[in-house]
Amino acid sequence: MSKLKKELTLSQVIAMAAGGMIAAWMVEIRYWFELSGTGSFWALFTTAILVIPLGLVYSELSSMLPFAGGANIWISNAFNWDLGWYFDWAQFLLYVLAIPTVAYGLVTMSNYFHPLTFEQTKYIALFMLILWYFITNMEIKILGKIQNLLFWIMIFASIFVSANFIFSGNWSLQNLRPWFPKGFSGYSAAVGILIFKYIGFDLIPQLSEEANYERKDQWKAYAGAIGLTFLIYGLAIIGNGGIVSVDWIIKSDIVDPRVADFIGKHYLAILVVIAGILGTITTLSGFWLSASRCLYGAAQQRQLSPAFAKLNKNGQPILGNIVVGIFAIYFTVFAPEEWVEYIYTIYSFVAGVVYFMVVLSYLILRKKHPEWERPFKIKHGMLMGLLALAFTIWVIIASLSEIAISSLYLLGAYFTIGVAFHIYAKIMQKKEPEKWKPVVLGPEDIKNHDE
């Protein structure tokens, strides 16, 4: 079987993971302010703190079982092969739903230069996804270098713009008040929904098979990605909220550049749009790569056809990239005009359920296999696991309170396809038992993947 190439540095993995979280904020920030005004800063801060135990859980698991597929492999080991497939299918949804969201965000940001209708936005986003199919078939080390460069340019440019807002003379601490216009209920809902903005750290285990650094350093990738995400988003909320009102932001199409023009600094508007576009490009690649790795990992465990594990000459999954493209195009074509709200609630709910099962798997594997090597092991592991579990339950409850019935129908249709894949695998196990024999990757397989 073909093997993924171990060519990604720690900096490149951080860029891909954080790039998966930092995207199109100047378009989405309107929804954050609608949820909880400037209190969205504290909601993001709270979520960053609460996600730490979850990040530590992911760090330990991905250092112990560093395979593409991540949650699929961990759940398969803790529970069983069948359940592992369904949660692999769930996390695949997270990534393919994110791809059109990012594409829409990128095109919407370019509206600053030339206004587009929603239909025009949709067609351009569609063209971008077709183009990105060819880009993601390049070598991972080339993609890693490109993303690393674009990501760090975006980081420094966005910090520069937010700092200029704060020290512009138009900024006022008083303008940030009231911090919580919708009270605790708005803040609580924002905490549950804004976990969406930290979805991206789970790209790290998808890329762990291609990471070329010590497994014990996995926590550094999680810490770097989460920390940088809060820094950029937090500064954007404070920078914009200190100059204009909540109503002004909610009614704006693209916030940061409009605020820059409002204070008479057009050059900052151009800079922040370019920074946002660069960041969104890194996001698009990160989610696409992770989605194809979900399918690759499933093929390794024979939950999907072994054809999904075949790689092209550049080391990229051939069939996986095609299927990712099909799903991404489908969700792009049928996305409603209110795509931000539509995606957020589905995303947060599915993420909460996947994270819940990952934490349960972590707790079970701590008891079931204490002898397995854990290059990174959490101190006070059971306590951290229980804290992470409580957080995932909160995310599930908060997102369910906001989710629309139409979103639940979409989830039902999507998982019907997952059931079909599962039934097909079961049929093939009887027809071709050797080729389709179920596999659950474990510590004994690490050496084979490293060679």
169, part of any domain = yes
Rounded to whole angstroms, the Cα distance separating 417 from 48 reads 34
**3-state DSSP of 340-374:** HHHHHHHHHHHHHHHHHHHHHHHHHHHHHCCCCCC
Rounded to whole angstroms, the Cα distance separating 420 from 433 reads 19
308, part of any domain = yes
Q: Which candidate, 407, 55, 44, places its Cα nearest to that of 238?
A: 44
Structural domain span for residue 194: 10-450
Rounded to whole angstroms, the Cα distance separating 131 from 326 reads 13
408, part of any domain = yes
313, part of any domain = yes
Rounded to whole angstroms, the Cα distance separating 344 from 365 reads 31
27, part of any domain = yes
Q: Which candidate, 289, 40, 299, 359, places its Cα nearest to that of 189?
A: 40
5, part of any domain = no
**3-state DSSP of 191-225:** HHHHHHHHCCCCHHHHHHHHECCCHHHHHHHHHHH
Rounded to whole angstroms, the Cα distance separating 204 from 114 reads 36
Q: How many domains does the chain have?
A: 1
Instruction: Tell me if 14 sits within 8 A of 225, measured CB to CB.
Output: yes
CATH number of the CATH domain containing 336? 1.20.1740.10
pLDDT averaged per 10 residues in sequence order, the chain, 451 residues: 71 78 74 81 87 90 89 94 94 84 71 74 79 78 76 84 88 85 77 71 79 83 86 88 85 84 87 78 78 90 90 86 87 64 70 92 94 91 91 81 73 90 93 90 75 51
3, part of any domain = no
Amino acid at 247: D
Q: What is the pLDDT of residue 10?
A: 83
Residue matched to tokens 């819940």:
356
298, part of any domain = yes
